[in-house]
């Protein structure tokens, strides 16, 4: 491909999809792991399922903040790759892994003593005890789960993300088989209940990490990066650069996750059926969101590589391409939600359930709001990804926190309870908060792009 072809819109679309689709598939595979846990523990027992939800949510909140540091590796490695600088790629990934190992070790005591925290928050002692049984095993998976995210950033920065997808698919299969064996005692394994689910999670995360690490070490395309050679050697400038970028990313992700957790609490105030309906709608919206989320990582890489080369024209074209693709896909998802809401909700319902008809009635309006939700959620995700590509994370954190909490949460409460719109009002408030974030993040990127053009001129 010559240079002119490389600058064509078609080349940009192809490169974005070639990088983005494996990352999208990886996100969907991770959702599949969580869904498998929920389904199998639901078969095993209601108390076990409820306790594991408590434990896994505690794990997730701690984990998702750590993901901020792994995500910070992505723009640093992508820019170094754009400069053809394998040494700085290695330093960024290695120091990112150092930070993640330190972080995982520091949060272990918090998870180990989850039981008294849950009791203090009003949970039933028997559920808190079961959740503790789960988390005291599952917490060891924090190390491989975070390290594999750093390796994902490495492969994505090099535009070699296929191994990330394949390792996630293998991990999903391992998790399903081990869950079936260890939760229920099948295949001659001991029946371990929630402990079995925790063991399966740790093993599957470890398998994914080992596959990715082995590929990074042994594949000829990655040999010159020498990721694990003299791993104990510190590179303090890279260490603090990852930390500086990763801290605001972690808070940004946590702010968004916290918004949706607060929305779940508010839906619980409306009753059991609205909360269950909310769970169905949010699961459908989450599955759909995996596509723009994967594309947002591609946005970070494509923009970061162009920025590393100092090519502002390619940077702008890469940004427009990924945004255009994300908008088109989000509109398709919205059309699906608008056209077939009853059929989509029914996938989660058992007709024998006495509440099925009421759940369908309550969930469908939420899904209709979620249709509009898709577009603004995708645009804000891509905006954040674009800004990370140029290493801009502090101001986006402030934008996100203000948009999600003072705006989004207040609007959700005001529309849902102050004006009496109930569940659809809560969801409309979420959409408003995400919409404000979408506008401000992309405005920030547009202004930063003009500044960079002037600076490079």
Give pLDDT tens digits for 58-98.
888 899 899 999 999 999 999 999 899 999 999 999 999 99
Residue 11 lies in a domain: no
Is 353 within a domain? yes
In a domain, 173, yes or no: yes
For 410-457, what is each residue's pLDDT tens digit? 999 999 999 999 999 999 999 999 999 999 999 999 988 776 554 454
* 191 and 252 inside one domain: no
Lowest mean pLDDT of 6-10, 187-191, 263-267, 328-332, name the range.
6-10
- Same domain for 222 and 261, yes or no, is no
| 315 C-beta neighbours (distance < 10 Å), count | 26
Res 1: pLDDT:
38
Minimal CA–CA distance to 77: which of 322, 389, 383?
A: 389
pTM of the model as a whole: 0.85
pLDDT digits (tens, 9 = 90+) for 340-368: 988 888 876 666 666 778 888 888 999 98
Last residue of a domain, one of 183, 202, 234: 234
Q: Is 255 in the same domain as 374?
A: yes
How far is 437 from 356, CA to CA, in rounded Å? 35
Q: In 3-state terms, what secondary structure has residue 349?
A: coil
Q: Are residues 108 and 185 in the same domain?
A: yes
Closest alpha carbon to 268 in 141, 395, 154, 122: 122
Cα–Cα distance measured from residue 244 to residue 17, given in angstroms and rounded to the nearest whole number = 30
Closest CA to 280 of 378, 366, 372: 366
């Amino acid at each position: 491909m010559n240079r002119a072809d490389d600058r064509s819109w078609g080349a940009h679309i192809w490169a974005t999809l070639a990088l983005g689709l494996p990352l999208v598939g990886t996100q969907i595979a991770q959702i599949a792991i969580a869904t498998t846990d929920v389904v199998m523990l639901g078969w095993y027992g209601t108390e076990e399922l409820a306790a594991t939800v408590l434990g896994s949510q505690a794990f997730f909140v701690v984990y998702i903040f750590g993901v901020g540091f792994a995500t910070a590796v992505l723009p640093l490695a992508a820019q170094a790759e754009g400069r053809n600088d394998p040494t700085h790629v290695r330093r960024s990934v290695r120091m990112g892994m150092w930070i993640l190992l330190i972080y995982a070790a520091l949060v272990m005591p918090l998870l180990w003593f989850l039981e008294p925290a849950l009791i203090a928050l009003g949970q039933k002692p028997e559920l808190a005890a079961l959740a503790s049984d789960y988390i005291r095993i599952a917490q060891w998976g924090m190390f491989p789960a975070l390290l594999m995210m750093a390796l994902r950033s490495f492969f994505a920065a090099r535009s070699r993300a296929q191994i990330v997808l394949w390792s996630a698919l293998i991990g999903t299969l391992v998790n399903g088989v081990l869950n079936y064996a260890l939760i229920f005692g099948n295949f001659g394994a001991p029946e371990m209940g929630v402990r079995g689910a925790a063991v399966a999670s740790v093993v599957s995360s470890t398998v994914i990490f080992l596959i990715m690490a082995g590929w990074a070490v042994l594949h000829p395309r990655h040999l010159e990066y020498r990721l694990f050679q003299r791993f104990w050697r510190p590179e303090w400038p890279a260490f603090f650069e990852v930390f500086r970028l990763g801290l605001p990313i972690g808070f940004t992700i946590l702010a968004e996750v916290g918004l949706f957790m607060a929305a779940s609490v508010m839906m619980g105030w409306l009753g059991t059926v609205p909360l269950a309906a909310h769970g169905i709608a949010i699961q459908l919206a989450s599955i759909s969101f995996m596509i723009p989320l994967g594309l947002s990582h591609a946005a970070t890489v494509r923009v970061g590589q162009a920025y590393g080369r100092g090519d502002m024209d390619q940077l702008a074209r890469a940004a427009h391409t990924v945004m255009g693709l994300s908008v088109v896909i989000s509109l398709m998802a919205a059309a699906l939600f608008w056209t077939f809401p009853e059929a989509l909700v029914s996938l989660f319902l058992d007709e024998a359930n006495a509440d099925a008809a009421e759940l369908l009635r309550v969930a469908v309006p939420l899904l209709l709001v979620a249709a509009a939700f898709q577009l603004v959620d995708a645009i804000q995700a891509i905006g954040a990804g674009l800004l990370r590509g140029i290493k801009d994370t502090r101001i986006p954190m402030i934008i996100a926190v203000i948009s999600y909490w003072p705006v989004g949460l207040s609007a959700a409460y005001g529309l849902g309870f102050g004006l009496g719109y109930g569940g659809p009002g809560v969801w409309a408030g979420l959409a408003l908060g995400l919409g404000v974030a979408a506008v401000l993040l992309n405005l920030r990127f547009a202004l930063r792009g003009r500044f960079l053009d002037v600076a490079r001129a």
